[in-house]
Chain A
């Protein structure tokens, strides 16, 4: 797999050298064999170094990498017997959200995932992973079904946000998201949500009100996609890099703020370098969290989920002397 990100340039050069040497096959000279080994070691060392110190914006680029495994890749590698459910039973079927029951080792779970689509045609089909209102309504429907049958819910989040076209307004994007937020907070089954790439705005939170929220090591989670945030704060989406930095979008930073529960390690150089490894890490983390959550009674589960979100927020009280006094806006 090529190294195609800007900051991976030194790696790309080493890779080229390795490929050239490898091409010699049997005819390789002893000193070249030594060089090859050296270069391979160097690539590993440099990759480790670069990926340990990714900036916010570099992490955004990795999280959006075109080869990064998407939900359907993980479903295929982690689960058996997946049966996809379609439609919200009132308007249509949204292809940006893929949902349905599947076997995860020896239990049935309800999967609710966001899928971006790989090639041009599929991206169009999946609306780039930007769900329409009917997607959230489908998600809500299958989640309530999972509750009925006592199936744990596993969500994979990967979207830069909910779809913002005029037709989404007509069909009530705001209501669809608001409704699923309230419903998820009271579902009587365990919910584990993982951000596998991009977690952007209410579109991501829409399937993210979970008992445990995990993030892959190089994923991002933010209140709005960095471009959107920059245009809101500074009225120019070109400042996206500054917004990404200011909002602390990296998994490590989000974890440090205590807003997610766990970071799932990725293979060296990002999940796209080894799908199998990434999927097995993710599966292990999901399994472990589901096992933990099963120990709790339903009431305890619900109370903890409520408190988990109830306690998020940082505020303080102003001293009487610091209170703003008069307003320059006249009152009626």
Chain B
């Protein structure tokens, strides 16, 4: 499922399975997980982490994404310290399962791993000096899953848009609702959608950018409610992932069956935009939908 860059260590050359991680500083090359092309890290980063051979868009962290999209130093982060309280006290574990960590322990490990407190970063910034409220999700934090914190931060960001009359942008990447927060997670779908309905009444534009992957409860709420919905090429975009469809329907789904191009073709989104064109495209939209 995870399609990350594999650093070319000895292990990678020897053909043994390596744990997929983004390359650490000092790796001179990465292997594209899609076409297996070997890319110089320096070129790959200059290409905004897009494979120069097969156009595969690698996943970005929330902060990488912000650097990519907005004017430098214009981003003001808010609620960076908001964290989950494990509201269900989810400690249930099947005794035979190899991973015995509870939700609270997993949260802490994810925080250490990513340097984030949860799967979204929110605040306001400018693109070509035009202000906007934005929230950027991060797939590296528990699969970008939506619990109370993600729902709350996105709702507050929308409310900031209403209050200050800023256009609103959400960059989505998520496996869906966070199971360990149970119904609290499900209700974030209603909460964010209700806030967006208010934003709509206030006649403020909402742009949604879908990146790999956007699925489940996130796709069935704020991701699909954009006035303009953009997607990066080749991103998995669906309500139910191919793995689950295969499991429940007992049919084989071809690879890339439910990606950006598929949803564009079926009329669900407005455009598929290459990573290097994202900032100019967003600037164009901000100009066209400007609130003057």
Contacts and interface: CB of A to CB of B under 8 A. Distances in A.
Nearest to A317: B81
Contacts of B81: 317-318, 320, 323
Interface string A168-196: 11111111011101110110000000000
B190 A177 contact: no
A326 B244 contact: no
Nearest to A203: B220
B238 interface: yes
Interface string B108-137: 000111111100000000000000000000
Q: How large is the interface on B (under 10, 10 to 19, 20 to 34, 35 or more residues)?
A: 35 or more
B97 interface: yes
B180 A315 contact: no
Contacts of A120: none
B249 to A, nearest CB: 6
Contacts of B31: none
B191 A178 contact: no
A262 to B, nearest CB: 16
B250 to A, nearest CB: 11
A13 to B, nearest CB: 31
Contact of B224 (A175, A237, A317, A320): A175
A285 B62 CA distance: 47
Given A234-B94, A315-B149, A323-B117, A223 B182 contact: yes
B54 interface: no
A325 B140 CA distance: 16
Interface of B: 21-25, 45, 48-49, 60-61, 63-64, 67, 80-85, 87-88, 90-94, 97, 99, 111-117, 140, 148-149, 151-152, 155, 175-191, 193-198, 200-201, 216-217, 219-225, 238-240, 244-245, 247-249, 251, 253, 257-258, 262-263, 266-268
Contacts of B155: 310
A313 B224 contact: no
Nearest to B24: A330
A221 B220 contact: no
A243 interface: yes
Nearest to A162: B239
A315 B197 contact: no
Nearest to A332: B64
A217 interface: no
Contacts of B201: 186
Contacts, number: 247
A223 B222 contact: no
Nearest to B106: A233
Given A172-B268, A248-B182, A331 B63 contact: yes
A324 B111 contact: yes
A331 B235 CA distance: 21
Interface in A213-258: 221-224, 228-229, 231-234, 236-237, 239, 242-243, 245-249, 254, 257
Contacts of B49: 332
Nearest to A172: B268
B176 to A, nearest CB: 8
A74 interface: no
B228 to A, nearest CB: 14
Given A205-B190, A242-B94, A327-B115, A259 B184 contact: yes
25 contacts: A162-B239, A164-B240, A164-B245, A166-B251, A181-B190, A182-B193, A202-B186, A208-B190, A231-B247, A232-B179, A239-B97, A246-B180, A247-B88, A247-B90, A305-B194, A310-B155, A313-B187, A314-B87, A315-B84, A318-B81, A320-B81, A323-B81, A325-B115, A327-B114, A329-B113
Interface in A264-318: 305-306, 309-310, 312-318
Contacts of A165: 245, 249
B217 A324 contact: no
A239 B183 contact: no
Given A166-B253, A172-B266, A177-B239, A259 B183 contact: yes
A79 to B, nearest CB: 27
Given A182-B193, A202-B220, A329 B88 contact: no
B271 to A, nearest CB: 16
